Structure 1
Amino acid sequence: MNLQIDYLRTFTALADAKNFTKTGKQVNLSQSAVSMQIKRLENEVGKKLFDRVGKTVRLTAEGSILIKYAQRILKEHDEAVAALSKPNLEGSIRFGSPEHYTSGMLPKLLANFSNSYPEVTIEMRCENSDVIKAAVDVGELDVGICTQISEGGQVIAHDPVVWAANPEFVLQKHKTLALATFEEDCIFRSWALEGLEKAGIEYKIVYVSRSISGLLDSVKAGFAIAPIIGSNVPPDLKILGIEDGLPILPVSNVVLHKSKTNPSEIIDCFSKHLIKAFREKTGS
């Protein structure tokens, strides 16, 4: 019996996503290629690993046994590869991002990258997306993450904008909605106000901040609800939707921009880390 690493990686991804299409996006394979790899793995072990339930799949009893070993095998494999692939990059990266992400997933990502490439220094800059894009265009930044600004960049993930609220919040139809938002130049604010106006919901902006932490604090206190990206909603808050009487907000595009004036192996490596982290976080 020969358990190929690629097949095991696809197997664990499908066990997590429970859907062939989503799995294909995660492992960069077509739906048919995912099906083929799973079929070959089932032939190799001589057992059925998944049962189909509508458009989803679930592990069989044999699949549940294999998943534990597959996860351990992949962990050991990846650690071995990392240990043998000694970091040889050195230099610096000038990186920019809106605060939506600098207060969320980026700190852990930057820490992991620094651990893997200790000789690379990352200079972080936090600005609005339009400022980040302009800085990348003129070579002041090497890499930038922007929201919605996709011209010349690569869309690497999709992150829905949602209504975040205190768990005890209940929308009252005849009461003006208290709203916390970013400043006027934020597209999330524009989307929120347009959505509320189209839905005929009266609102009052009671808190304005340039900081995501400020918005979250106001929401946690029950002072207001706020439109923020889904990946920034902490577990102690709830997400409101159409079933609560609120309009559905657009999905935000996360766009990667790289400087064309300063291409380097460091920038390419860092960009790959960004893409992988964002896609894993948002399920894109």
Structure 2
Amino acid sequence: MNLPIDYLRTFVSLAETKGFTRTGIQLNRSQSAVSMQIKRLEEEIGKKLFERIGKSVKLTPEGNILIKYAMRIIKEHDDAVRALSKPDLEGFIRFGSPEHYTTGVLPKLLARFASAYPDVLVEMRCENSDKIKEAVDRGEIDIGICTQISDGGQIISHDPVVWVAAPEFIMQKHKTLPIAVFEEDCIFRSWAIEALEKSGIRYRIAYVSRSISGLLDAVKAGIAVAPIILSNVPAELKTVDLEHGLPVLPVSNIVLHKTKKKTSEIIECFSEHIIRFFGEKI
């Protein structure tokens, strides 16, 4: 039995997106190419890995067994490639990100990069997406990841924005909904307010924070519900949606911006690391 690494990447992506079209977009492949790779992987294993449910899919019992090994194989493969390809990089890189990604995603991303390239110092800057993009354009930072707010850059992943609430939250139709939001220049705040107003839901801003940790603290205390990206939802909280009476929020496109004022092996290497990491959605 042979398990090609490209097939395993496609398998993991499909397990996460639950759709052939979304997987194709994520991996920059056609829907037919995704379908063919999954078919060949299933033929190689001799087991069905997915159950088709309309336009969506879910893992079979055999698929659930494979997913843990596939993610481990991909990680070990990529770690080996990084260790053998450019082990002698040294220097520093200036990196920027909104606070949304610094809570769950970036600590793992930076730790893995530091493990592979211990002689590269990453200088971190945390601001809103528009300020990060402007800083990249001015050459003040080398690489930035942002929520898509304009044209340009490279879309590297997608993260739904969801309403998060305390476990005991119940939507009460005739009461004003308390919400916790970021400061006024945050796109998630704009999306949330626009969705509530379009749905005719009365709301009040009960809590304003500059940080994701502040919003989550307000939600945990039962003060409000908040719009955040799905990857930042902690296990002790729940997401609420149309079934609970709240409107669907947009999907956030995560965009990579690189400075045009200079290029270097470190910038390219770190860019590849970010793209690969967000593709894995660890």
Fold match, TM over 0.5? yes
Maintained 8 Å contact 2:79/2:116: no
Q: 1:120 to 1:37 in 2, by over 3 A?
A: same
Name 1:93's counterpart in structure 2.
Answer: 93
Name 1:270's counterpart in structure 2.
Answer: 270
What are the ranges of 5 or more consecutive residues in structure 1 without an aligned counterpart? none
SS in 2 for 1:96: strand
Name 2:230's counterpart in structure 1.
Answer: 230
**Letter paired with 1:275:** I
What TM-score do you get using the length of structure 1 for normalisation? 0.84
Name 2:139's counterpart in structure 1.
Answer: 139
Name 2:241's counterpart in structure 1.
Answer: 241
Q: 1:254 to 1:50 in 2, by over 3 A?
A: closer
What TM-score do you get using the length of structure 2 for normalisation? 0.85
Name 1:183's counterpart in structure 2.
Answer: 183
Name 1:199's counterpart in structure 2.
Answer: 199
Deviation at 1:6, TM superposition (A): 3.5
Name 2:260's counterpart in structure 1.
Answer: 260
Name 2:52's counterpart in structure 1.
Answer: 53
Structure 1 vs Structure 2 CA RMSD: 2.9
Show the 5 A alignment for 1:1-284: 3-11=3-11, 13-14=13-14, 19-41=19-41, 47-50=46-49, 52-54=51-53, 55=55, 56=57, 58-59=59-60, 77-78=77-78, 80-281=80-281
Q: 1 CA distance for matches of 2:251 and 2:170?
A: 24
**Percentage of pairs with the same residue:** 69
Q: 1:264 to 1:36 in 2, by over 3 A?
A: same
Q: 2 CA distance for matches of 1:157 and 1:12?
A: 14
Give the number of equivalent residue pairs: 280
Q: 1:137 to 1:225 in 2, by over 3 A?
A: same
Q: 1:65 to 1:276 in 2, by over 3 A?
A: closer
Q: 2 CA distance for matches of 1:231 and 1:256?
A: 18
Deviation at 1:83, TM superposition (A): 4.4
SS in 2 for 1:222: coil
**Letter paired with 2:216:** L
**Worse-superposed segment, 244-253 or 207-216:** 244-253
Maintained 8 Å contact 2:83/2:116: no
Deviation at 1:259, TM superposition (A): 0.4
Deviation at 1:91, TM superposition (A): 1.3
Q: 1:202 to 1:101 in 2, by over 3 A?
A: same
Deviation at 1:194, TM superposition (A): 2.0
What are the ranges of 5 or more consecutive residues in structure 2 without an aligned counterpart? none
Deviation at 1:78, TM superposition (A): 4.5
Larger Rg: 1
Q: 1 CA distance for matches of 2:76 and 2:84?
A: 12
Maintained 8 Å contact 1:48/1:60: no
Q: 1:68 to 1:182 in 2, by over 3 A?
A: closer
Q: 1:178 to 1:261 in 2, by over 3 A?
A: same
SS in 2 for 1:223: coil
Q: 2 CA distance for matches of 1:67 and 1:222?
A: 36
